[in-house]
C-alpha cells in the first residue's frame, strides 16, 4: 500500500530542491540572454571586453586587441579625430547599415554601439565635417557636429545616384581628397570583358564597352546633391575593380589597389596551366592622376616578367606585351589575394619606418584553387619621397587561423577595412566573421 | 517515482534555458535592403522552365556504372567546377554558391542540368545567403560529362541523390534553348 504521508514528505523535499534547481537555471538563462561582456545582438551588438588577440602575428612591439565582435560583414571603417569609430556593413544588422562605436574609457574598449542608415554597402569616410557612405549604387553623406556626432541620422543627403550595379564587382568603395572631390570605384561587371563572361575560349569584346561607365574611378563633387554619371568625370580607366583606395596626403594623389582578373586556366586551358593561373596576374597598387589608364581588360601585369602582358582575350599568348600608354603599377603583389583595404599611415605611434607607408588588407584568395589559397593578412610597403623604399612585407598575419585554413581558403577571419585612429593606432575589420581589431605599438 | 519528478523538473528547466538561448541566436528577418527594381535579378538558368521531363532512358545505374560515372565526374569537377566552387564544394562567400546539401543540387534534375548548360547570371539565394558571380555556360561538355559530374556532385560533399544519366541530359538539352 502506498504510504501517502511518506510520499507527501518526499514530494515536498523534491519540490524544494527542484525549486532551487529551477531558480538556478532561470538565472543562468537570464544571464545568457542579457549577455555577458561578449557578443550579443540586443542593446550592444558589437561590444566586447577588449582582449589581446595573440593569434594575430605581428612584428615585435605590436599588439592586436579585439575591440568588437558580432557586427555583420563590417567593410570599411573610419575613426574621427576624437576617436569615434564609424563602420559600414555589407549586411544589415538589426536593420542598420552603419554602426558608430564609442568607448569612454580608452584602451579600445567599446561600450556603446549605435546603428543608423538603412542600406548595406562598403564605403565609409569622414572628411571636412561630413560622414560619407556608399551603397552599391549611391553615395550619401551626413553632416557631423563639432564633436563628430551625426546630426540627423535619419536624414542622409544623397550625393551620387544611378551608378551601375550588375552583381559583379558591385561594391562602390569611396575616398575623398582635401579639395572637395569624391572618388568612387565603379567596378567592371565582368571578369575580362569577354563576349561571354568567364566562358572557356570566349574572346574579348572589341573595344570593351564596359569602360565608358565602369571599370574605373569616377570623380564627383563632395558637396553637390544627387549627382549622376553626367555630373562626374571618369578620373581613371582600365581598372577592373578597386575596393582598397586612399588619398595619399604626402603625394597629394589617389592610390588604388586593383583586384586582378581570374581564371586564366579555366578560360584558356591550353595556354595557362593551373599553377600559372594561380600566380597570374599580380594584384597591383597604382598611383592615379586624371586620365590614368591601367589597362584592364587589354593587359594584365605579370610580376615574374615585370611586364604588361596582352590578355589572351585580346590575342595574347602569355608573352606578347600590351601598348605603351598604359601605366605601370607602383607595387605588384601575388595574384588573387584580393586587396580590400588601403591606408597610408601618417601617425607617429608606430616606428619611423611606417611613416607615409602603405598598409594593404588582403581579403584572401579563392581563385588560386586547385593550388593552395593565399592571403588573409595585412601587408606593408615602406614609402619615401612618394615612392616605395623597400619590398612589401607581411605586417599582420594569421587572420585565417592557421596554414591549413589559409591553404583551403576557409579562413576564420578575412581582413577588409583599414583605418587610422587619432593616436596613431590602426584598425582592421573582418567582413567574414565581423571582428574588429585595434593594433597598437609600444617600444 | 522520486527519480521521475527530478528528471521532469530538470528537463523543464533545461527546456527554458534552451528556449532563451535559441531566441538570442535568431537572425533578424530582413537582412538586406531592397535594391532598385532595375538592378535586381533573380537567378535564371536562361531557358524556359519545363515541367518534369518525361522519363527517357534508365534513371538508375547499377553500382558499378554509378562508381564509373562518379570517377569520370570527379575529373570533370576538377577541371570545370573546382576553380569557382572550390575543392570542398563550399563555394566562395558572396560570389560562388556552395554545392553542399542545397535544394539546387538535390532537387529538380532539369533545373540543375540547365544551370550547367546555360550558366547562371544574377543573384541566387542558397541557404539564406546570396551569391552573384557569373557562372559561364558549359554546353560544350558532352551529355555523358554533364551526367557524370552531376552524379559525382550529387553523391559527394555530404550529398546523396539519384544519379543523372546521359540520356536524361540529352533529353533536357534537346528542349533547352
Number of separate domains in chain B: 1
Residue A37: pLDDT band (50, 70, 90) is: very low
Mean pLDDT of A232-254: 98
What is the DSSP secondary structure assignment for residue A412, as one 8-state letter? S
Chain B neighbors of A120, CB-CB under 8 A: 32-33
- CATH number of the CATH domain containing B79: 1.10.760.10
Asked if pLDDT for residue A419 goes beyond 80, the answer is: yes
What is the pLDDT of chain B when averaged over all its residues?
80
pLDDT band at B3 (very low <50, low <70, confident <90, very high): low
Indicate if the pLDDT at residue B52 is higher than 90: no
Instruction: Tell me how far apart the 2 most distant CA atoms of chain B are, in Å.
Output: 72
- pLDDT value, residue A19: 66
What does the pLDDT read at residue A39?
40
Closest CA to B93 of A75, A113, A70: A75
- The answer on pLDDT for A34 being more than 80 is no
The per-residue pLDDT for A324 is: 82
In-domain check, residue B88: yes
Give the distance from residue A208's alpha carbon to the nearest chain B alpha carbon, in angstroms.
Answer: 18
Taking residues A243-272, what's their average pLDDT?
A: 98
A195 touches chain B (CB under 8 A): no
A230 touches chain B (CB under 8 A): no
- With contacts defined as CB-CB under 8 Å, which chain A residues touch B29? none
Instruction: State residue A339's pLDDT score.
Output: 98
pTM to 2 decimal places: 0.84
Q: pLDDT of A51-75, one tens digit each?
A: 899 999 999 999 999 999 999 999 9
Least confidently predicted of A202-206, A387-391, B45-49: B45-49
d(CA B165, CA B56): 9
pLDDT tens digits for range B114-149: 999 999 998 999 999 999 999 999 999 999 999 999
Work out the pLDDT band at A314, boundaries 50, 70, 90. Answer: very high
Topology given in CATH for the domain delimited by A43-441: Neuraminidase (2.120.10)
Distance between CA atoms of residues A278 and A264, nearest Å: 8
In chain A, residues with a C-beta closer than 8 Å to the C-beta of B12 are: 22
Q: Write out the DSSP string of A326-394.
A: SPPPSEEE-TT--EEEEEE---SSS-GGGTT-EEEEE---STTTTSPP---EEEEE-EETTEE-S--EE
User: What is the CB-side half-sphere exposure of residue A13 using CA atoms within 13 A?
Assistant: 8
| Residues of chain B numbered 119-158 and touching chain A (CB < 8 Å) | 119, 121-123, 132-137, 140
Stretch A194-218: mean pLDDT = 97
Residue by residue, DSSP assigns A49-114 as: EEEE-TTSB--TTEEEEEEE---SSEEEEEE-TT--EEEEEEEEETTEEEEEEE-SSSTT---EEE
**Chain A CB contacts of B141 below 8 Å:** none
Q: What is the pLDDT of residues B91-113, one digit of tens each?
A: 999 999 999 999 999 999 999 99
In a domain, B162, yes or no: yes
Whole-number pLDDT of residue B26: 40
Quote the DSSP letter at residue A1: -
User: Has residue A207 got a pLDDT over 70?
Assistant: yes
SS3 A282: coil
Residues of A in contact with B78 (CB under 8 A): 370
Is B83–A170 a contact, with Cβ atoms under 8 angstroms apart?
A: no
Confidence of residue A48 (pLDDT cuts 50, 70, 90): confident
Cβ distance of B83 and A18 shorter than 8 Å: no
pLDDT score at B35: 31
- Report the alpha-carbon distance of residue A387 to residue A358 in Å, rounded: 10
- As a whole number, mean pLDDT of residues A331-358 equals 98
By the 8 A CB rule, do A425 and A84 touch? Answer: no
Tell me whether residue B35 is in a domain. Answer: no
What pLDDT does B39 receive? 34
State chain A's mean pLDDT as an integer.
92
Contact between A403 and A413 under an 8 Å Cβ cutoff? The reply is no
Residues 56-115 of B with CB under 8 A from A: 78-80, 82-84, 86-88, 90, 92-93, 95-96
Query: How far is A386 from A290, CA to CA, in rounded Å?
Result: 18
Interface test with B, best of A366, A372, A413 (most B CBs within 10 A): A366
Predicted pLDDT of residue A27: 56
Distance from CA of B57 to the nearest CA of A (A): 30
Q: How far is CA A132 from CA A3, A141, A144, A401, B155, in A?
A: 78, 4, 10, 33, 49
The C-alpha atoms of residue B149 and residue B73 are separated, in whole angstroms, by 4
Q: Which three cell numbers stand for residue A402?
A: 592557421
Cα A276 to Cα A93, A194, A241, distances in angstroms: 40, 20, 21
Quick check: A199 and B30 CB within 8 A? no
Q: Is A403 left (phi over 0), alpha (psi -120 to 50) or beta?
A: alpha
Range 314-373 of A in CB contact (< 8 A) with B: 366-367, 369-370
Q: Is the omega angle on the peptide bond into residue A149 within 30 degrees of 0, that is, cis?
A: no
- Min mean pLDDT across A275-289, B53-67, B130-144 is at B53-67
What does DSSP assign to residue A216? E
User: In this structure, what C-alpha cell is assigned to residue A357?
Assistant: 607607408
**C-alpha separations of A379 from A21, A135, A173, A328, B16 in Å:** 53, 27, 19, 20, 48
- The 3-class SS string of chain B reads CHHHHHHHHHHHHHHHHHHHHHHCCCCCCCCCCCCCHHHCCECECCCCCCCCCCCCCCCCCCHHHHHHHHHHHHHHHHHHHHHHHCCCCCCECCCECCCCCCHHHHCCHHHHHHHHHHCEECEEEECCEEECCCECCCCCCCHHHHHHHHHHHHCCCCCCCCCCCHHHHHHHHHCCC
Q: What is the pLDDT averaged over residues A162-187?
A: 97
Q: Give pLDDT tens digits for A126-165.
A: 999 999 999 999 999 999 999 999 999 999 999 999 999 9
> By the CB < 8 Å criterion, does A273 face chain B?
no
Q: Does residue A313 or residue B24 have the better pLDDT?
A: A313
Question: What are the phi and psi torsion angles at B143 (to 5°)?
Answer: -55, -40
Q: Quote the domain boundaries for residue B97.
A: 42-174
C-alpha A174/C-alpha B143 separation (Å) is 47
pLDDT confidence of residue B17: 61
The confidence band for B38, taking pLDDT boundaries of 50, 70 and 90, is very low
B20/A165 CB distance under 8 A: no
Cβ distance of B6 and A10 shorter than 8 Å: no
| Residue given cell 553615395 in the structure block | A139
Reported as type and span, the H/E element at residue A289 is none
Lowest mean pLDDT across A20-24, A385-389, B12-16, B26-30: B26-30
- CA dist A12 and A19 (Å) reads 10
Give the number of other Cβ atoms within 10 Å of residue A138's Cβ: 22
* Shortest CA distance from B26: residue in chain A: A41
Q: Is residue B86 part of a domain?
A: yes
pLDDT in tens, A356-394: 999 999 999 999 999 999 999 999 999 999 999 999 999
B31 within domain boundaries: no
- CB atoms B24 and A33 under 8 Å: yes
Residues within 8 A of B (CB atoms), A 3-42 only: 7, 10-11, 14, 17-18, 21-22, 24-26, 28-30, 32-33, 35, 40-42
Residues A397, A411: contact at Cβ < 8 Å? no
Evaluate if residue A9 carries a pLDDT over 80. Answer: no
CA distance B157 to chain A (A): 15
The percentage of residues in chain A with a pLDDT greater than 70, rounded to a whole number, is 89
Question: Concatenated DSSP letters for A135-202?
Answer: -SS-EEEEEB-TTS-BS-TT-PEEEE------SSS----EEE-SSSEEEEEE--SSSS-BSSTT-TTP
Residue from B134, B135, B141 whose CB has the most chain A CBs within 10 Å, to mutate: B134
Cβ distance of B86 and A32 shorter than 8 Å = no
Amino acid at each position: 500500500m502506498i504510504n501517502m504521508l511518506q510520499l507527501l514528505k518526499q514530494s515536498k523535499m523534491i519540490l524544494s530542491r527542484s525549486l532551487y534547481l529551477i531558480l538556478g537555471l532561470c538565472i543562468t538563462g537570464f544571464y545568457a540572454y542579457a549577455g555577458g561582456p561578449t557578443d550579443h545582438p540586443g542593446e550592444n551588438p558589437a561590444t566586447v571586453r577588449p582582449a589581446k588577440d595573440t593569434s594575430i602575428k605581428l612584428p615585435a612591439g605590436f599588439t592586436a586587441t579585439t575591440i568588437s565582435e558580432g557586427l555583420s560583414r563590417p567593410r570599411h571603417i573610419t575613426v574621427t579625430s576624437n576617436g569615434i569609430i564609424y563602420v559600414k556593413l555589407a549586411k544589415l544588422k538589426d536593420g542598420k547599415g552603419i554602426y558608430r562605436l564609442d568607448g569612454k574609457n580608452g584602451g579600445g574598449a567599446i561600450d556603446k554601439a549605435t546603428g543608423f542608415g538603412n542600406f548595406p554597402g562598403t564605403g565609409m569616410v569622414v572628411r571636412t565635417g561630413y560622414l560619407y557612405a556608399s551603397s552599391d549604387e549611391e553615395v550619401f553623406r551626413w553632416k557631423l557636429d563639432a564633436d563628430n556626432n551625426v546630426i540627423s541620422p535619419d536624414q542622409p543627403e544623397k550625393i551620387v545616384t544611378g551608378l551601375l550595379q550588375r552583381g559583379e564587382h558591385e561594391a562602390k568603395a569611396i575616398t575623398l581628397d582635401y579639395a572637395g572631390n569624391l572618388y568612387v570605384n565603379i567596378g567592371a561587371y565582368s571578369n575580362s570583358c569577354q563576349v561571354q563572361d568567364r566562358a572557356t575560349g570566349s574572346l574579348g569584346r572589341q573595344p570593351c564597352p564596359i569602360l565608358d561607365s565602369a571599370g574605373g574611378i569616377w570623380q564627383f563633387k563632395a558637396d553637390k546633391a544627387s549627382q549622376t554619371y553626367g555630373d562626374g568625370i571618369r578620373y581613371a580607366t582600365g581598372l577592373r575593380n578597386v575596393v582598397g583606395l586612399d588619398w595619399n596626403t604626402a603625394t597629394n594623389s589617389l592610390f588604388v589597389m586593383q583586384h586582378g582578373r581570374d581564371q586564366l586556366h579555366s578560360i584558356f586551358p591550353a595556354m595557362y596551366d593551373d599553377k600559372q593561373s594561380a600566380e597570374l596576374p599580380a594584384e597591383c597598387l597604382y598611383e592615379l592622376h586624371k586620365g590614368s589608364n591601367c589597362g584592364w581588360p587589354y593587359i594584365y601585369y605579370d610580376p615574374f616578367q615585370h611586364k604588361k602582358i596582352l590578355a589572351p582575350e585580346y590575342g595574347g599568348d602569355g608573352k606578347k606585351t600590351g601598348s605603351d600608354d598604359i601605366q605601370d603599377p607602383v607595387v605588384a603583389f601575388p595574384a588573387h589575394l584580393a586587396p580590400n583595404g588601403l591606408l597610408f599611415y601618417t601617425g607617429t605611434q608606430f616606428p619611423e619606418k611606417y611613416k607615409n607607408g602603405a598598409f594593404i588588407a588582403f581579403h584572401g584568395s579563392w581563385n588560386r584553387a586547385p593550388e593552395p589559397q593565399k592571403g588573409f593578412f595585412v601587408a606593408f610597403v615602406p614609402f619615401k619621397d612618394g615612392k616605395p623604399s623597400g619590398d612589401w612585407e607581411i605586417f599582420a598575419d594569421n587572420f585565417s587561423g592557421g596554414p591549413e585554413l589559409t591553404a583551403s581558403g576557409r579562413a576564420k577571419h578575412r581582413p577588409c577595412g583599414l583605418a587610422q585612429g587619432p593616436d596613431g593606432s590602426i584598425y582592421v575589420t573582418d567582413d567574414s566573421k565581423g571582428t574588429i581589431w585595434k593594433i597598437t605599438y609600444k617600444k | 517515482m522520486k527519480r521521475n519528478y527530478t528528471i521532469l523538473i530538470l528537463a523543464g528547466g533545461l527546456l527554458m534555458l534552451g528556449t532563451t538561448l535559441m531566441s538570442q541566436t535568431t537572425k533578424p528577418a530582413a537582412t538586406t535592403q531592397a535594391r532598385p527594381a532595375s538592378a535586381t535579378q533573380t537567378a535564371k538558368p536562361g531557358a524556359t522552365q519545363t515541367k518534369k521531363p518525361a522519363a527517357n532512358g534508365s534513371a538508375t545505374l547499377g553500382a558499378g556504372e554509378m562508381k564509373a560515372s562518379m570517377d569520370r565526374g570527379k575529373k570533370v569537377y576538377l577541371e570545370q567546377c573546382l576553380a569557382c566552387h572550390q575543392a570542398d564544394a563550399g563555394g566562395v562567400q558572396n560570389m560562388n554558391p556552395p554545392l553542399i546539401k542545397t535544394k539546387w543540387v538535390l532537387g529538380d534534375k532539369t533545373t540543375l542540368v540547365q544551370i550547367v548548360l546555360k550558366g547562371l547570371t544574377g543573384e541566387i539565394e542558397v541557404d539564406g545567403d546570396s551569391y552573384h558571380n557569373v557562372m559561364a555556360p558549359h554546353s560544350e561538355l558532352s551529355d555523358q560529362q554533364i551526367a557524370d559530374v552531376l552524379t559525382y556532385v550529387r553523391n559527394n560533399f555530404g550529398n546523396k541523390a539519384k544519379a543523372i544519366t546521359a540520356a536524361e541530359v540529352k533529353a533536357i538539352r534537346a528542349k533547352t534553348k
